[in-house]
Amino acid sequence: MSFSIAVPGALAPRRVWLTDLPVLLVAVVWGGSYLVAKDITTAQTVLAVLVLRFALVLPVLVVVGRRALRDLTPAQWRGAALLGLILGGIFLLETYGVVHTSATNAGLIISLTMIFTPLAESAVTRTRPSRGFLAAAAVSVLGVVLLTQDGGFTRPSLGDLLMLLAALARTVHVLAMSRVKAVQGAPALPLTTVQLGTSVAVFALLSTGADTTPWGTAAAFGAREWAGLVFLSVFCTLFAFFVQMWAVRRTSPSRVSLLLGTEPLWAAAAGIALGGERLGAVGLAGGALVLAGTAWGRRAAG
């Protein structure tokens, strides 16, 4: 999640590079997160892995931001908790989705959030999107169709549909953050902490009585699974959050967004190069159209 903080003046080229590199690294680890999540998660352990992933980093956020948490008003707590419920739904859809599709498809389909969000904003504000943006949206949708039909024109997989729903849920989350008055102006650290805490509570509640518990899953993990869990927790969550907070104060929010927008490219690269996933000619064309359409849409919406 990115935060819009205005930064006066331009940075020197060397300083820009030093700021861009950590943000680009966040996009890389986020892209790799789909493959890692697919590797350590099964349909039976989704809830358990989600509890473990965020329970590992939540205490750090609470300790670091304890003063800011105390300063939140009751209305801000309620607003952040509401956003946390939506965020929990996003993680559930994404994690179940990546279990049932390829990491490549997951990363590319979720990038449709960059198309869905401006469309949803236009619908809410009753303004007509530009022709360029509508054309970009059409290109992206065509790309997803080709991507999910690479093996022949059949029904999209369950995972593809779940990732599509996750992209829509991300859009709802973005709109809610901008429209829930209680959280507007609230500091990013406590707001994120309450959201993740709410999500963990939802995951833990849903896992109650399940055959696979977080503790049982943790006990069954080997070194490879623990390495993957630490990667998701420390790098894809904790590191990514603090880098965004640090970078957005040193460069423009649009530059941060542009760098983070390379996430689907890294997801496809990880899936193909490390996960042994393969796309045929149709799938490659679809992936290219998704990347081109979302990049074009981001420029047209800006």
Q: Quick: pLDDT tens for 45-82.
A: 999 999 999 999 999 999 999 999 999 999 999 999 99
Quote the tokens at residue 177. Answer: 């953050």
Q: Which of 97 and 174 is assigned the larger pLDDT?
A: 97
pLDDT tier for residue 226 given thresholds of 50, 70 and 90: very high
Q: Which residues contact 4 (CB under 8 A, 6 or more apart)?
A: 248, 253
Top mean pLDDT of 85-99, 233-247, 261-275 is at 85-99
User: How much is the pLDDT for 296?
Assistant: 79
* Contact assessment for residue 253 and residue 23, using Cβ atoms and an 8 Å cutoff: no
**DSSP state string for 238-289:** IIHHHHHHHHTTTS-HHHHHHHHTTHHHHHHHHHHHTS-----HHHHHHHHH
Long-range contacts of 65-74, Cβ-Cβ distance < 8 Å, separation of 24 or more: 65/187, 65/189, 65/190, 65/193, 68/187, 68/189, 68/190, 69/190, 69/193, 69/194, 71/190, 72/186, 72/190, 72/194, 73/182
DSSP 8-state code for residue 183: G
- pLDDT at residue 2 tops 50: no
pLDDT tier for residue 17 given thresholds of 50, 70 and 90: low
User: How much is the pLDDT for 185?
Assistant: 81
- pLDDT at residue 283 tops 90: no
Closest CA relative to residue 87, chosen from 207, 173, 193: 173
Residue found under tokens 């008055």: 181
Tell me if the pTM is above 0.75: yes
- pLDDT at residue 132 tops 90: no
Quote the tokens at residue 159. Answer: 């995972």
